[in-house]
Structure 1
Amino acid sequence: MNNNIKHCLSKIFQPMTIIPKNSNLSRQQVTSKSQRLMLELGIIQQSIPGCFHLLPLGLKSLEKLIKIVDDELFKIGGQKLLFPTLTKSQLWEKSGRLEDVGPELFQLEDRHKHSYILNPTHEEVAGELLSMLAPISYKSFPLRLYQISNKFRDEIKPRFGLMRGREFIMKDMYSFDVDIDNAKKTYEEVCQSYNNIFDAIGVEYVKIPVLGNSGTMGGSLSHEYQFKAQIGEDNVLNCSSCNYTANTELCGDHKCPNCGETTINIQCGIEVGHTFYLGDKYSKVFNATYVGKDGKSEILQMGSYGIGISRLLAASLEVLSSENELRWPSVLAPYNVIILPPKSGSNEETPTEGRATDLYTKLENMIPCLKNNVLLDDRTSLTIGRRFVDAKRVGYQFIIVINKKTAQEVPLYELNDIKNNSQMYLTEEALIDYIKKNIRMNQT
């Protein structure tokens, strides 16, 4: 970025609105606080029920999340690609899922009356790709292919904004291994990678692996990653006697199936990730094979691993935010610091001229993780108070106010640490040092 170009709030497309309590949109479609706040504060805008425009601040946050995921998957040998969204219905017929998943699939015909699907997931597509290249030498495995792309699901009742929509952004990885032992090793490595991703984000999740229902995906083993939240649609059972943890869809809600204990804890959760060991369910159907050391052709073992990227973003805000103010995980905040210069025409304007832009530059240069993460609220026709309220509602952790104390012989800056609910007046050096010590950013 050119050093003379700064991120200025007046240049950001952020249509802020208030949803009246008596509006039809409020009663029928806004079903969670994260959805309401993201709409009101210009993070998203609804297009049709279940589909949303992701506006500049929302997209900036999403790109940070994608980088965290990319970095972690690279460490375990993940290779990023992009599958086609539109595929022939015959693939799903061949796997047997067309009938099982039918009502949730967006299906269409082209001008030649050929049937297609807008994919919600790509097990069939990945299996077919490997079959087209089969047989492949055993030396090429393990193979871990993933994408981050838009998916489609015909939700009967879209709700909770980005958490349950008709169009959503998902990371889906498909692993291929030569035998069960290696496939399960891959499964364990991906699960650990998921732990690293959720640890980096910093929102509390259920640490003990949650056994999940494989459902129409199939396979013999699956685990869910759940954020604890009252709005969550899943119920997670945990047994304090044996640490068994599972979705009640799998195990019921009366007792622990592992040890028989009836004193159990059940909490609501938002599923943000799911891993599946598929075995040969898809690779056998599509004849995805490899050639072993002995020259014989064998069926590959598959795994499937999903993270709802857009859902994860909204779920993080749902867990952390208050009813009236967004709160971002530090690593996902569109900007971490916002600077508020004085109102135009105020007594503080002339004596502090240039202070805001100088501080902006120093923060970016002296704290590497703040590069492109500092915002200047240059809407100086508005009062400091109005801009402060906006900044607090949008959820910037550090709000710096340039005021009369900054005009003193020894300039002091008003620093508001929203996360820690504290306000202080600091010299420039002390302010930079405080932010450096208190900001939590992804360092991968």
Structure 2
Amino acid sequence: MRTLLKSSLPHLVTNRGYYNDTSRVKRHLLSKIYQPGNLWKENSPEFQSKSHEPSSKSQRLMYKAGLIRPTSPGCFHYLPHTVRSMEKLIRLIDRAMQEIGGQKIDMATLCSATLWKQSGRWDLVGKELLCLMDRHNQEYCLGPTHEESVTSLVATEGSINYKQLPLLLYQITRKFRDEKRPCFGLLRGREFYMKDMYTFDITEDAACQTYTNVCDAYSNIFRTLGLKHVKVQADTGNIGGKMSHEFHLPASIGEDRLMVCGSCDFAANMEIFHPGENNCPSCKGELTESKGIEIGHTFYLGTKYSRVFNAVCHDAQNKPVVAEMGCYGIGVSRLLAASIEVLSTEEDIHWPGLIAPYQICLIPPKKGSKEMAASSLAEELYDAICTIPHMSNEAILDDRDHLTIGKRVKEAHMMGYPYVIVIGKKALESPPVFEVRNHRTGEVQFLSKEGVLSLVQEIRVI
């Protein structure tokens, strides 16, 4: 019995799958997965009692597919398929951050008001903070971001030796923000997952190089997911600092207005433009306005926080220097929903292939049908796929054989499995032939068992 990967997603339980009594191969059976049916329609009393938020395509599809359920405005339960997808996305981000030297940590969610008041952000951020007071009359907020916490941590533990630089600390945890108007499901919530990284360098030049490295890593993550993205200059907002960029997925539902030059690589958020500016400040070319969903944000902070908390580096001459800092965020749950938003049709989910909950859905014949004799071939094919090392946990068997093949195929496409394999009447031929549907391209192939396994070998997974 294979050992299952432990979840890298804090506070979420890994989908452990199910085992068939007569097989050593782990079989994920759709009948066993907790996946509520299509009960949540926007005009239903159940939906209205939970949420009054404006909806989006991704929100509607995620409700319909049983991926999320609302608990209160801006807060959601993530159900098994979503957890699997999130864990894959986190593995991808972990790999990218560690390749550039990132060290993963996990900071406390409960943040002391004292630190936030020391930085001046307690009043600056104001009502967006979810605040509370304990029995000892100490004030806290549920962390929306952790600049104060990480800088205080580094400062408290003493100076950083130049040989440790650049120091890149990051985490992927739940964050909290008291959004005035939560909307669009996971695209703008009050409780969400974020990857936040904080970097420390000894000189401005070194900090700028680190900034470039992290931005390049972000672009690589989005390209690896197959997402067309735009990097734009942005306002530093209440986080502050000397320089800021946002990463956006172009989308009509996006709440940010972007100005993009058609003649050079200049792009910026409209919020940093002055009224009446219509030409590119770099080449004087024409700017085109579009909308985007923000999925990442980077800041070069300089010494804004390190000076307040006295976070110091020592150079080669053992001279203390106030650290140059940067901070970098990816909205992990927002990225998941945004990718569904921009890739999907109105009826069917299309995941970035690497983070689909399962790569393959196998559909055996309906019970009592003429093709039922081929049912055993479905299990044999499933087990053969799972013996391919990188695919051992990537297939699901739709064993709900009381439903027609057509209904299950339609649901499989709605769920967005990249490959749907149908064991139908051609499986009764000699040798058996299986129908393989590519969800992304719409291509349908009829392949032998060997052909299916050859195709499966080429599927990329995280």
For Structure 1 versus Structure 2, the TM-score category normalised by the shorter chain is over 0.9
CA 59–252 in structure 1, closer or farther in 2 if over 3 Å, else same: farther
2:420 to 399, 403, 406: 399
8 A Cα contact 2:234 2:246, kept in partner: yes
Question: Matched residues in 2 for 1:53 and 1:20: separation?
Answer: 17
8 A Cα contact 1:171 1:308, kept in partner: yes
Q: Is 1:362 aligned with 2:384?
A: yes
Question: Matched residues in 2 for 1:238 and 1:153: separation?
Answer: 30
Query: What SS does the aligned partner of 2:28 have?
Result: coil
1:306 to 329, 339, 361: 329
Which one is further off, 132-141 or 76-85? 132-141
1:212 to 211, 214, 234: 234
Q: Which residue of 2 is the match for residue 345 of structure 1? A: 368
Matches within 5 A, 1:294-443: 294-350=317-373, 352-366=374-388, 368-437=389-458, 439-442=459-462
1:436 to partner: Cα distance: 4.0
1:271 to partner: Cα distance: 0.5
Which one is further off, 131-140 or 258-267? 258-267
Question: Matched residues in 2 for 1:117 and 1:316: separation?
Answer: 30
8 A Cα contact 2:26 2:393, kept in partner: no
Q: 1:177-206: per-residue Cα shift (whole Å, max 9, x none)?
A: 111111111111111111111111111112
1:418 to partner: Cα distance: 1.6
8 A Cα contact 1:411 1:428, kept in partner: yes
Question: Matched residues in 1 for 2:335 and 2:42: separation?
Answer: 27
What letter is aligned with 1:210? V
Which one is further off, 88-97 or 242-251? 242-251
| TM-score, normalised by the number of residues in structure 2 | 0.91
Q: Which residue of 1 is the match for residue 152 of structure 2? A: 128
1:440 to partner: Cα distance: 4.6
Question: Matched residues in 2 for 1:297 and 1:21: separation?
Answer: 59
Question: Matched residues in 2 for 1:220 and 1:4: separation?
Answer: 55
Q: Which residue of 2 is the match for residue 224 of structure 1? A: 246
Q: Is 1:143 aligned with 2:167?
A: yes
8 A Cα contact 2:243 2:299, kept in partner: yes
Q: Is 1:9 aligned with 2:33?
A: no
2:207 to 183, 186, 189: 183
CA 73–259 in structure 1, closer or farther in 2 if over 3 Å, else same: closer
Q: Which residue of 2 is the match for residue 197 of structure 1? A: 221
Which one is further off, 139-148 or 244-253? 244-253
Q: Which residue of 2 is the match for residue 40 of structure 1? A: 64
1:262 to partner: Cα distance: 6.8
Question: Matched residues in 1 for 2:455 and 2:26: separation?
Answer: 25
Which one is further off, 341-350 or 90-99? 341-350
Q: Which residue of 2 is the match for residue 83 of structure 1? A: 107
1:252 to partner: Cα distance: 4.3
Q: Which residue of 1 is the match for residue 12 of structure 2? A: none
Q: Which residue of 2 is the match for residue 166 of structure 1? A: 190
What letter is aligned with 2:281? N
Which segments of 5 or more consecutive residues in structure 2 lack a partner in the other structure?
3-23
Question: Matched residues in 1 for 2:274 and 2:188: separation?
Answer: 24
Query: What SS does the aligned partner of 2:354 have?
Result: coil
Which segments of 5 or more consecutive residues in structure 1 lack a partner in the other structure?
none
What letter is aligned with 1:215? G
8 A Cα contact 1:30 1:36, kept in partner: no
| TM-score, normalised by the number of residues in structure 1 | 0.95
CA 115–21 in structure 1, closer or farther in 2 if over 3 Å, else same: closer
1:260 to partner: Cα distance: 7.4
1:29 to partner: Cα distance: 2.5
What letter is aligned with 2:369? S
Q: 1:207-247: per-residue Cα shift (whole Å, max 9, x none)?
A: xx311111111111111111011100111111223431111
Which one is further off, 9-18 or 254-263? 254-263
1:12 to partner: Cα distance: 0.6
Q: Is 1:238 aligned with 2:238?
A: no
8 A Cα contact 2:104 2:171, kept in partner: yes
1:69 to partner: Cα distance: 0.4
What letter is aligned with 1:286? F
Question: Matched residues in 1 for 2:121 and 2:187: separation?
Answer: 24
Matches within 5 A, 1:54-93: 54-93=78-117
CA 20–137 in structure 1, closer or farther in 2 if over 3 Å, else same: closer
What letter is aligned with 1:264? L
Question: Matched residues in 2 for 1:103 and 1:113: separation?
Answer: 19
Q: 1:1-27: per-residue Cα shift (whole Å, max 9, x none)?
A: 543321111111110224345336379
